[in-house]
Amino acid sequence: MERSFHSEIEALKLGRGEVFQGEGILAVTKALLQSGVTYVGGYQGSPISHLLDVMVQAKPYMDELGVHVEACTNESSAAAMLAASIMYPVRGAVTWKSVVGTNVASDALSNLASPGVMGGAVIVVGEDYGEGASVIQERTHAFAMKSAIWLMDPRPNLATIVRMTEKAFELSEASNTPVMVELRIRACHVQGSFVASDNIAPRISSQQLQQDPAAFNYDRLAHPPATFRHEKLKYEVRMPAARRFIEQAQLNEFFAGRHSEVGLVVQGGLYNTTLRALEQAGLANAAGEADIPMLVLNVVYPLVPEQISAFCADKRAVLVIEEGQPEFIEQDIATQLRRANIQTRLHGKDVLPMVGEYTAEVLLKGITALLQEHVPAVDMAAANRFSTALVETRARATFALGGSLPARPPNFCTGCPERPVFAALKLVEREVGKLHISTDIGCHSFATFEPFSFGNSILGYGMSMASSAAVKNFSAKRPVAIMGDGGFWHNGLLSGVSSTLLNQGDGVLVIMKNGYTSATGTQETMSTPALDARLLAEGASATVSELTIENTLKGMGVKWVKTVHNYRVSQVRDLLKEAVNSPFMGLKVVIAEGECQLERQRRLKPIRQRRLQSGLRTVRTRYGVDEDTCTGDHSCIRLSGCPTLTVKPSADPLRREPVAHVTNGCVGCGLCGEVADAAVLCPSFHKVEIVTNPSWWDRLTDRFNRFFIGLLQPA
């Protein structure tokens, strides 16, 4: 029961002259349909998940257009889909989170770039930098250069994003080369509007079938000796063709300014931030008119030497605003200026940070340094006032808060079924000692933060089992690998399980079976259960009961496979301890089963709301703490880490220590009580059933309960 994208799907149907309003990534989705795309595939991940999610839910409309949409099992399978455009004049697009997804897809992409494409092939990648980014601090730019795949970085404006997406197909076809369109998180979620065009039904599609397969052509295969010719074509034919198209179609944009003795060469994705920095310096107005000339690179690879020379030739100095490292664009421009014997001073990473996100504050410092050296007559009073005000505001905030804000690392959702597994693992370590824990990409990676602090390595999605392959051979205790069901199907089955079986390895693998790829938006997997409609209507919890993972493991020859319900902390603890201490030599798999709480609540809340509106009996479970019984040592909090389990001052004036408290955000998963029982903590937790629109039986039993409890209490 995923999130509904009904309104987004309707926006995809807009025709010529109608106004599309929404966020950047949905504008890209609409642009693909306006470009006559034949097929779309990909693997979800922030910040581009919505592209695929919306298209999957819009399947009836996609079928009507003849567009094939495929949610792939990983990025490699998505990249391989683009092979359709090698031999056929069909346009295709795939999407994933970069740079991690690009690494997974690298084999297919290298062999796609070698022969080139006949139909337009576009790869939409989500990319970001800085402390808040969730990707490895590497750049897709490096991969584009390595394989000679052209790279776009469109200005974060919906009309520009749409135009560049449509032109990406034309650029691909004009140069017979795949094109990447990279979108930062800000570009994906920027809100705006553009005037839509009609969607184009592709000429070859599921509605208009290709009658005959392509004729055999060895030169179109990524196989020697054809590959030697491909390398010459890349740089002698395709790149010059791409540069001609970039210039003729005016994909890069020039903005004039009155301080023509200096200039800014800006990655398209950083245009909005650059304008904001200039505005703070008093060098741009709210309409986006700047005083410093800018060359905005909506295509960052390849650069067009003639454009670079023309922009720099009459300037005293130019600042290259390029986020991430190494400084590929700056080096490329430096080479081109040297070859053209243009003596313009070039600045970039000398006045801007080598790493991290380029915020307006960061860019303001770099622009100020440029102007102070080369145009000292420019009044920088506004920039100085802004910088001073920023320092003063931070000082006041620090004083008001009594210090810096505490760190707020990401955490499991309230009631997450993975939390009790890690609570049980802490209890196991209490008995057997510290274990080597190989962690993985996914929700369970939140266990690397307090209060669990589990994890000795994270090497890739589904790679936890493989990353413990060497450790288990020299460790006195069996290492434990943690993997989600999403990671299992993405990569873990082959890289971890099959490799361990091939080498007759001994180890413990814990698979978190919550039924979805939860970390990227609860997309379905091979083992997502078919939920019983009757139970869902009654508001019951779905049980992740499909045995696809168990049957797959047994079919591969895994002898030791046991399943346990996550919320039974005592049982999880005992099973994990059994796996770690088992005399059985070989792979031991513990499948921890429990439905994703986010998906469960997303399903239950509207059901509960409808029942309340209809006046039907509705029960909500939550837990609480008996303040008089609580000892105040907070072991329960250290073992569970639930966001709704916190502390509050004791009502007893003789007690100085705060007591445990469960907030109203409790979803009634029961973990706090289970942990208290499994860890033999204080019996202060109690379960409460809140009944709305109670029946006559509920009222009668409540009166009896109150009467007998009253008899037991002192007068």
Q: Confirm or reject CATH 3.40.50.970 for domain 419-600, answering yes or no.
A: yes
The angle formed by the CA atoms of residues 437, 440 and 441, to the nearest 5 degrees, is 155
Q: Count how many Cα atoms sit within 13 Å of the Cα of residue 92 in the half-sphere of its side chain.
A: 29
Tokens 């059985």, located at residue? 584
pLDDT of residue 534: 41
Distances (CA, A) of 19 to 4, 51, 157, 162, 314: 22, 19, 14, 13, 41
Q: Edge-to-edge, what's the strand order for the sheet holding 39-42?
A: 68-71, 39-42, 92-97, 121-126, 179-183, 150-152, 299-301
Evaluate whether 253-401 and 619-712 have a shared fold. Answer: no
CATH fold for domain 253-401: Rossmann fold (3.40.50)
Three-class SS state of 205: coil
Tokens 């404006």, located at residue? 157
pLDDT of residue 539: 47
pTM check: above 0.75: yes
- Looking at the DSSP bridge assignments, the partners of residue 619 are 691
For residue 237, the tally of other CB atoms under 10 A from its CB is 14
CA distance 462 to 439: 9
The residue extents of the domains of the chain are: 18-199+223-248, 253-401, 419-600, 619-712
For residue 408, the tally of other CB atoms under 10 A from its CB is 6
pLDDT of residue 543: 54
- Looking at the DSSP bridge assignments, the partners of residue 237 are none
619-712: what CATH class?
alpha beta
Which is it for strands 262-267 and 294-297: parallel, antiparallel or unpaired?
A: parallel
Two structure tokens written together for 555: 């079919």
CA dihedral defined by 32, 37, 38, 42, rounded to 10 degrees?
-40
Q: Count how many Cα atoms sit within 13 Å of the Cα of residue 636 in the half-sphere of its side chain.
A: 29
Three-class SS state of 621: strand
Asked if the bond preceding 410 is cis, omega within 30° of 0, the reply is: no
Which CATH number does 18-199+223-248 carry?
A: 3.40.50.970
Q: Cβ(438)–Cβ(456) under 8 Å?
A: yes
One-letter-per-residue 3-state SS of 246-310: HHHCCCCEEECCCCCCEEEEEEHHHHHHHHHHHHHCCCECCCCCECCCEEEECEEECCCHHHHHH
Distances (CA, A) of 396 to 28, 405, 628: 42, 13, 41
Two structure tokens written together for 360: 């307006």
Two structure tokens written together for 379: 């009044």
Q: Cβ(277)–Cβ(163) under 8 Å?
A: no
CA distance 162 to 384: 37
Q: How many residues does the chain have?
A: 715
| pLDDT averaged per 10 residues, the chain (length 715) | 72 95 94 97 88 91 95 94 95 94 94 96 89 74 96 96 98 98 92 96 90 87 92 96 98 95 97 95 90 97 97 96 94 96 96 91 94 91 87 88 80 90 94 94 90 90 92 90 93 93 93 87 79 48 69 94 93 95 95 89 85 89 85 81 88 85 87 77 82 92 89 77
Q: Cβ(380)–Cβ(371) under 8 Å?
A: yes
- Looking at the DSSP bridge assignments, the partners of residue 512 are 484, 592
The angle formed by the CA atoms of residues 478, 483 and 489, to the nearest 5 degrees, is 130
Nearest to 300 by CA among 151, 513, 91, 148: 151
Nearest to 284 by CA among 296, 271, 298: 271
